[in-house]
Amino acid sequence: MDSFFSSSFTLFLNLVFLLFTSRGALGATFTFVNRCETTVWPGILANAGSPNLDSTGFELPKDTSRSFQSPTGWSGRFWARTGCNFDDSGSGSCLTGDCGSGQVECNGAGATPPATLAEFTLGTGGQDFYDVSLVDGYNLPMLVEGTGGMGTCASTGCSADLNQQCPSELRVGDGDACKSACEAFGTPEYCCSGAYGSPTTCRPSVYSEMFKAACPRSYSYAYDDATSTFTCTGADYTVTFCPSSPSQKSSRDSTPMTGGSSTTPSQGTVPGSGSGYVSGSGTDPGLTYPGTDSGSSGSGSGETMLADGSWLAGLAMGDSSPSAVSPSTLKSAFIALAAFSVTFILSCSINL
| Phi, psi torsion values for 68, nearest 5 degrees | -135, 145
The C-alpha atoms of residue 299 and residue 313 are separated, in whole angstroms, by 14
Task: Please tell me the pTM assigned to this model.
Answer: 0.68
- Answer whether residue 267 shows pLDDT above 80: no
| Phi, psi torsion values for 115, nearest 5 degrees | -160, 140
Residue 68 · residue 54 · CB < 8 Å:
yes
Sorted by sequence, the CB contacts under 8 Å of residue 296 that are 6+ apart come out as 152, 154, 290
DSSP assignment of 283-301: S-TTB--SS-TT---SS--
Name which residue leads in pLDDT, 105 or 344.
Answer: 105
- 10-41 pLDDT tens trace: 555 454 444 444 444 678 999 999 999 999 99
- Answer whether residue 315 shows pLDDT above 50: no
- 74-129 pLDDT tens trace: 999 999 999 999 999 989 999 999 999 999 999 999 999 999 999 999 998 889 99
Buried/exposed 128-161: b ≥16 CB within 10 Å, e otherwise:
bebbbbbbbbbbbbbbbbbbbbbbbbbbbbbbbb
- Band (pLDDT 50/70/90 cuts) for residue 130 is very high
- Answer whether residue 349 shows pLDDT above 80: no
Q: Average of pLDDT values for 308-312? A: 32
Residue 106 · residue 57 · CB < 8 Å:
yes
β-pair partners for 267: none
DSSP assignment of 173-198: TTTTEE--HHHHH--HHHHT-GGG-S
Q: Which amino acid is at 122?
A: L
Helix (H, G, I), strand (E, B) or coil at 239: strand
Q: Which of 182, 183, 164 is nearest to 258 (CA)?
A: 164
| Phi, psi torsion values for 82, nearest 5 degrees | -130, 160
Residue 114: left (phi > 0), alpha (psi -120 to 50), or beta? beta
